[in-house]
Amino acid sequence: MKIGMVLYPTFGGSGVVGTELGKALAAKGHEVHFITYSQPVRLGSFRENIFYHEVVVTDYPLFDFQPYETELTSKMVDVVKYEKLDVLHVHYAIPHASAAFLAKQILKSQGIHIPVVTTLHGTDITLVGRDPSFEPVITFCINESDAVTAVSNSLKASTYKHFNITRQIDVIPNFIVVDEDNEGFSEQMRRKYACDGEKIICHISNFRKVKRIEDVVKVFALIAAQTPAKLILIGDGPDRYHAERLSRELGINEKVIFLGKLRDTAHVLSFSDLFLLPSETESFGLAALEAMAMGVPVISSNTGGIPEVNEHGYSGFLSEVGDVQDMAKNAVDLLTSGKLETYKIQAKNKAKEFTIELILPKYEEIYEKLVMNSKG
Ligand code: GMT
C-alpha cells in the first residue's frame, strides 16, 4: 500500500507515534510518504520505502500568520495525486484532519477518492480541542474522516463526552519498538551521573503546564531526603525555568540534571531506576511506556489513559494528581525495600503488551478495509 503520513515533526508523542508507525510500515514493504514542515526527529537516516515531502510556507508581508494549513492541503493534494497514494493517515486533529478533509474534497472534484484515517492523540481533544473556538472544526472533521482511532479508551470516552460525535472511534493503543542494541549501556554511563548506591530517577516531557514539572521536583526532593538519588530531566519547554528555580530553592539543584532535548532517550532510560510522570492529564503516556520498555518502573498520576499503561502494583504505582507525598512514598518504598528488581522485570513485561508487532496489524486492517471499499 502507499500511505501518506501527516504529523508534527517535533518531539511530541503524536509525532513520535506517527514516525515510528511509518517506519514500521515501510519495513514491512509499504511505501510511506511523510508530509510535514520539517524532517521528523525520529525519522533518522535513509530507509527503503520512505519518502519525505516538506511543506514550505511562503512568507509574504501581507500575512500576520502564515497559511500553513493551506500549504499543507495543497501538498497533500499533490502527493496523493502524483505518488498515487491509497490512504492518508493524519495524526493530531488540528489542523491535520481539517486540512485532509479539504484535500479530499479537492481530489474528489478531480475524480480521485482518498480515504482519510484520523488518529486522536490527546491534547487535540483534552486541551486544545475543547477550546470553544476549535470545537466546530474538530467535531466536523472527526465525523467526516473515513476512520478515526484514539490512543486509549480514556481518550475515546473524552472525545464522545466533549464533542457531538456520530461515528465509530476505534481504540488502537500506542506502541514501542524494542531496539535490542539499546540494552547494553547501563553501568558505564550510569557512573557519569550517579555515585555507587545512588538511584537515578528520570522524567521526560515537553515541560508544559499539563506535565506538572514542579511536582517532579517536589517528589524527587522527598525521595532524596530519604535515600541517595539523582534526578535526570530530558526535554525542554515553558516550565523548565520553574523546575530549575524550585530545585535551587529546595537546595537540591546539585542533584538535578537537566539534559535538554534528546533525539534518543533509550540510553538514559537504560540506566534509570524509576520514571516520574505526575501529569495533570495524559491520554496515554507514551514516555511512561518507553520507560517501562527499558525496564524502568513508573510512578505516575492516576489520570486519563495512564492506568491503561502503568499497572498499579505491577509496573509501578498510581497516585492522585498532585499527591506528591503518596508518589514519594511509593517511590521510596520501591527503591529501598528490595522490590525494585522485580518491578523492573514487571515493567518490561507489561510493555510487551504494546509492541509494534501487536499494534501494526490493527492499523493495516483499517487501511485495507478503507482501500477495499474505495476500490469496490
Ligand atoms: O504530551 C504532549 O503534550 C504531546 C502530545 C502530542 O500530541 O504530541 O502527547 C499526546 O499524545 C501522545 C501520543 O499519543 C500521548 O502519549 C500523550 O499522553 C498525549 N499527551 C497528553 O494527553 C497531555
Domains of the chain: 2-175+355-375 (3.40.50.2000), 180-354 (3.40.50.2000)
> Residues with beta carbon inside 6 Å of ligand 1?
12-15, 17, 92, 121-123, 126, 151, 174, 206, 208, 210, 281-286
- Residue 293 in contact with residue 182, Cβ under 8 Å? no
Place 306 in a pLDDT band, splitting at 50, 70 and 90.
very high
- Which residue's CA is minimally distant from atom 12 of ligand 1? 13
Distance CA 184, CA 173 (A): 28
pLDDT range class, residue 181, cuts 50, 70, 90: low
pLDDT on residue 180: 64
Cα of 283 from ligand 1 centre, angstroms: 6
Mutate to test the pocket of ligand 1, among 8, 123, 128 (most ligand atoms within 8 A of CB): 123
| % of residues, the chain, pLDDT over 70 | 97
Q: Which residue has the cell 501581507?
A: 62
- The residue among 292, 291, 306, 301 whose CA lies nearest residue 122 is 306
Instruction: Give me the mean pLDDT over the 155-180 stretch.
Output: 92
Distance from Cα 192 to the centre of ligand 1, integer Å: 31
- The pLDDT of residue 183 is 60
Query: Model confidence over 327-347: pLDDT tens digits?
Result: 999 999 999 999 999 999 999
Residue pLDDT, tens place only, 199-225: 999 999 999 999 999 999 999 999 999
| Residue pLDDT, tens place only, 110-146 | 999 999 999 999 887 877 667 788 889 999 999 999 9
Q: Residue 78 is placed in which grid cell?
A: 499533490
* CA distances in angstroms from 373 to 87, 118, 369, listed in the order given: 12, 17, 6
Q: Where are the beta strands (DSSP E) in the chain?
A: 2-6, 31-36, 50-54, 87-91, 116-120, 147-150, 170-171, 199-204, 229-234, 256-260, 274-277, 298-301, 316-319
Atom of ligand 1 nearest to the CA of 211: 23
Cα-based angle 271, 277, 279 (whole degrees, multiple of 5)? 160
Sheet with 116-120: strands ordered across: 50-54, 31-36, 2-6, 87-91, 116-120, 147-150, 170-171
Query: Which residues does residue 4 pair with via DSSP β-bridges, in sequence order?
Result: 33, 88
pLDDT band for position 60 (cuts 50, 70, 90): confident
Best probe residue, ligand 1, of 121, 125, 126, 175 (max atoms within 8 Å of C-beta) = 121
**14 CA from centroid of ligand 1 (Å):** 6
Is beta strand 256-260 parallel, antiparallel or unpaired with respect to 229-234?
Answer: parallel
Quote the percentage of the chain above a pLDDT of 90.
80
pLDDT at 118: 97
Q: Whose CA is nearest to atom 4 of ligand 1?
A: 12
Best mutation site among 286, 309, 359 for ligand 1, i.e. most ligand atoms within 8 A of its Cβ? 286
